[in-house]
Each structure stands twice: as C-alpha cells, then as structure tokens.
Amino acid sequence: MTARIIDGKVIAADLRARVAAEVERVKAQHGLTPGLAVVLVGSDPASEVYVRSKHKQTQAAGMASFEHLLPANVAQGELLALIDKLNRDPAVHGILVQLPLPAGLDTDAVVNAIDPAKDVDGLHPVNAGRLATGLPALSPCTPLGCLILTKSVHASLEGMNAIVIGRSNLVGRPLVQLLLNENATVTIAHSRSRDLPALCRNADLVYAAVGRAEMVKGNWIKPGATVIDVGITRVPGSSGKDRLIGDVAYQEALQVAGAVTPVPGGVGQMTVACLLVNTLRAACAIKGLPAPAV
C-alpha cells in the first residue's frame, strides 16, 4: 500500500479562501483592510518570483499589498528608516523583509527593528520568546504550514512522537514549540545527533528541514508515519530544466509512510497562505478585534 499524498495545493487554496472570507467580514463589519508590506533588497531571481507570488495572493485575498524594492547596495540606515516608516503606517499591519539580505547588511538589526505586532515572519525575538513560553505569538509561516498539513491527517497530535530534523530559527526551533503546544513528544535532531535513522524510526511524525537532498531514506521511516518534507534543492533534470527535490527520498517514503508531502506541491504552497493568515491576525490584534476564525 502506498502512502497518502498530502496535497499542499488543495489545503493552501482552502486556507486562502477562508482568509479571503474573513477579510471580507472585517472590511464589512469594522472598515478594516489588512495591509502587508514586503521589502525586497537586491535582485535575487528566486526572491523576486516569491515576492510576486506574495503580492498576487495578498491582493486576491482582498488585502492591501505594498511592495518596496531597494537596490542591493542600499545603506543599512536607509533600510532601517523604511522599516520605521512602515512601523508607523496605520495602513500596514504586516511587514516582511525578504531574506537572505545582501552581504553587508545586518539581518538581526533589520529583523529586530520590525514592530513585533507587525512581524508576520515571526522572527522578532519578542515573538520567538512568546512562542517558546507558550504565549500567543505570530509564528513563522513555514512551521505553521507544516502544522496545518499534519493536522489534515491527524485531528490531534497529543502524545504522538515527533522528530524535527534541523534546528534553524526559521523552521526547526519554532516548529518544535508549535508541536509542544499540541502536546506532541518532540525530539529535535541536527548534524551532531547520533544514529539519526534510529531516532527517525521511533517517530510517528517526521519533519525534514535541513536542505540536504533525499537525506531521509525509506528505511528511516516508521511504517505508517506522517512525513512532512520542508527541504527544497534544485538538481539538473534530464530535460535540461532543473528539478526540485526535498530532504526525503520521496519514492522510498511512499512505500513506507502513511502520509507524505511532495516536493514541489507540499509545504511551499502553505508558506504564503500562512503569511496571509498572520497578516489578518496581526491586523485584527492591532485594531483590538477578536482573533479571526482561521
């Protein structure tokens, strides 16, 4: 029996539709139009594609979208001045600075300059600290997407054994906190972990987020486990076009897992949808409204 394929496209489309309905409601009832400002520094092609996608989906959800494109050689002070202006702009409820930033800019200083109430990437130390202590917080979008995908398979994660492979501030660490909040039992593994295959075989939920192509083999996976593949690596394809592959050996996983996300078409679809969720939540919180039903 082959694993169920968790269709990120379908789940993300449903989430975007629910966000759009809530945006319509808060506009009608409270005169509030959530606004997202995206700041792109330099001209990285992958980032440009991503920013265009965010702009399109923000507008499709009925939100205001503000794009700020800055040259790669922008001065740190100029970038911080723009963030300060966006912090004070009442039409902006979410601020996202596209990472990575070009060399010479201080990423920590830029992230720390964003008003935590508008930090829809969930990277500000205030949001990271609130999440770590179990308080309401804006959570990073990719881990939030991972959790929603998991809950499309399991209504409750209580008591389940989960392993998160990768300890980045963007994915691994916040994902651990989100899973703990769901009462899962969590192991966080990394490059120094001993006998990683054995740790994985004990897990009901496997999250691979290290950026190493097909590192997680089929024989690492407990039969019936749910596998969420966060990794994405470009490799040359036979047709001359690049292929995208994940951290999990997908064909092998299909033969063992109970459910698995594809790459592409899995976690990546959820990241922008969760950005819209965070922007809507931030707008309602800033306006003093109850949390939206998404």
Q: How far apart are CA 213 and CA 200, in angstroms?
A: 17
- Known catalytic membership, residue 54: yes
Residue 236, domain CATH: 3.40.50.720
pLDDT in tens, 13-46: 999 999 999 999 999 999 999 999 999 999 877 7
Q: Work out the percent of the chain whose per-residue pLDDT is above 90.
A: 86
Between 280 and 190, the higher pLDDT residue: 280
pLDDT for res 238: 77
177 occurs within a structural domain: yes
Whole-model pTM?
0.93
pLDDT in tens, 226-250: 999 999 888 887 777 888 899 999 9
- Known catalytic membership, residue 118: no
198 occurs within a structural domain: yes
Q: Could you give the number of structural domains in the chain?
A: 2
Cβ atoms of 232 and 268 within 8 Å: the answer is yes
113 occurs within a structural domain: yes
**286 torsion bin: left (phi>0), alpha (psi -120 to 50), beta (else):** alpha
Cβ atoms of 37 and 282 within 8 Å: the answer is no
Q: How confident is the model at residue 212 (pLDDT cuts 50, 70, 90)?
A: very high
75 occurs within a structural domain: yes
Q: How confident is the model at residue 142 (pLDDT cuts 50, 70, 90)?
A: very high
Note whether 102 and 178 are same-domain residues.
no
Catalytic residue among 98, 118, 177, 229: 98
Note whether 106 and 149 are same-domain residues.
no
Note whether 235 and 172 are same-domain residues.
yes
Classify the C-alpha dihedral 88-90-93-94 as positive or negative.
negative
Catalytic residue among 57, 115, 119, 121: 121
pLDDT for res 28: 97
pLDDT for res 246: 94
130 occurs within a structural domain: no
For the chain, strand residue ranges (E) read 4-5, 35-41, 64-70, 94-97, 161-165, 185-189, 205-208, 226-229, 233-236, 242-245, 259-260
Note whether 147 and 264 are same-domain residues.
yes
Please say if the pLDDT value at position 81 is more than 90.
yes
Q: Residue 56 belongs to what domain range?
A: 31-117
Note whether 109 and 145 are same-domain residues.
no
Q: How confident is the model at residue 47 (pLDDT cuts 50, 70, 90)?
A: confident
DSSP character at residue 258: S
Note whether 174 and 264 are same-domain residues.
yes
DSSP character at residue 97: E
127 occurs within a structural domain: no
CA distances from 21 to 36, 63, 292, 293 (A): 17, 11, 10, 10
Residue 84, domain CATH: 3.40.50.10860
**Mean pLDDT of all residues in the chain?**
95
Helix 141-151 / helix 8-30 crossing angle, nearest 10 deg: 110
280 occurs within a structural domain: no
